[in-house]
A and B are shown apart, each in its own frame.
Chain A
Amino acid sequence: MTLYEAARKDLIIVPMESETKDEALSELVRALCNVKGMKFEPILQAIQKRESLGSTAIGNAVAIPHCKTSEAKGISVVIGIAKHLIPYDSNEVKIFFLVVADEFNASSHVQLLSSIARFCSSSVNRNLLAQAKDAQAVYQTIEN
């Protein structure tokens, strides 16, 4: 599964309202749960548990918080672009990819994370996302 296959316009938040890491994670998880009908608390806890093992900020203002949990339905990605850089552990982050997967799709989950990592390795892609004014602009960047 590639980023393009997983991305949905109704799971892209531009701009995010959050000012802190905790707020950002909550905002992303809430968007996911609203759209896909999942339970907010267990998903957020799974994300926070993963964060407790080590930061998911990967540099260049990008973070990929992710988790695998029985509370998930399939594999989802929520993309969020913050208004400005948000302190995130020892980094600062503007571009978020929240990936939540159920426990039965390890291969697709790994493929999606790899696809996001490759996409974000391009400074052109990162700049286009960081400057995106709305969800459509983010989606077009992924599509093209």
Chain B
Amino acid sequence: MLFKNILVFIDSSESAMIAAMHAVLLSKETGAALTAVYVVDTKSVSELFKAHIFVDEEKELYEKDLEGDAQRYLRQVSRLASKKDVEVNTVTLEGSVAHEVRDYIKSGGFDLLVMGGVSEIRSRREEMLSESDRLLRTATCPVLLVRDDSDIWQSFEED
């Protein structure tokens, strides 16, 4: 078996859900263990606070909202996995998105990262700002980059 331990990176984008679907199907076909990880971007919130864009009240509120996002999207992944009778371990981390995922790949011994969310680069500056792009470039294991794929939805809706 080529892959034994798959990690799928989840964020608040639709393409992350498509990546999750592919990861679920891959796990089902290969028997590889599957983990879904969402990083609550507390680093950005802290930076916004330091830059005086957020005040105290907002910092707490947004961190809470971001945690809510994480739980919501990971629940969605669990539902997708359940539809295909695949077990998925869901993990929430906090901090700098690309950095946290990179560390988690190492500590968790993952041999494949599945991710979506790398949009078409329309601006040179955009390329430098995307956490997904940073993760794609710096991941320490093979990466399966999932493009938007309408057929995959059908595969999950048929069941």
Q: Which of chain B's residues 43-64 have a Cβ closer than 8 Å to chain A? A: 44-45, 47-48, 51-55, 57-58, 62
Q: How large is the interface on A (under 10, 10 to 19, 20 to 34, 35 or more residues)?
A: 20 to 34
Give B81 Cβ to nearest chain A Cβ, in Å: 22
Give A135 Cβ to nearest chain B Cβ, in Å: 17
* Contact, CB under 8 Å: B44 / A111: yes
Q: Which of chain A's residues 60-112 have a Cβ closer than 8 Å to chain B? A: 64, 66, 105-111
A2 within 8 A of B: yes
* Contact, CB under 8 Å: B66 / A117: no
List of B residues within 8 angstroms of A106 by Cβ: 62, 65-66, 68-69
* Contact, CB under 8 Å: A53 / B41: no
Q: Which of B19-27, B117-125, B136-144, B145-153 contacts A (4 or more CB under 8 A)?
A: B117-125
B12 within 8 A of A: yes
Binding site for A on B (CB under 8 A): 11-12, 41, 44-45, 47-48, 51-55, 57-58, 62, 65-66, 68-69, 119, 122-126, 129-130
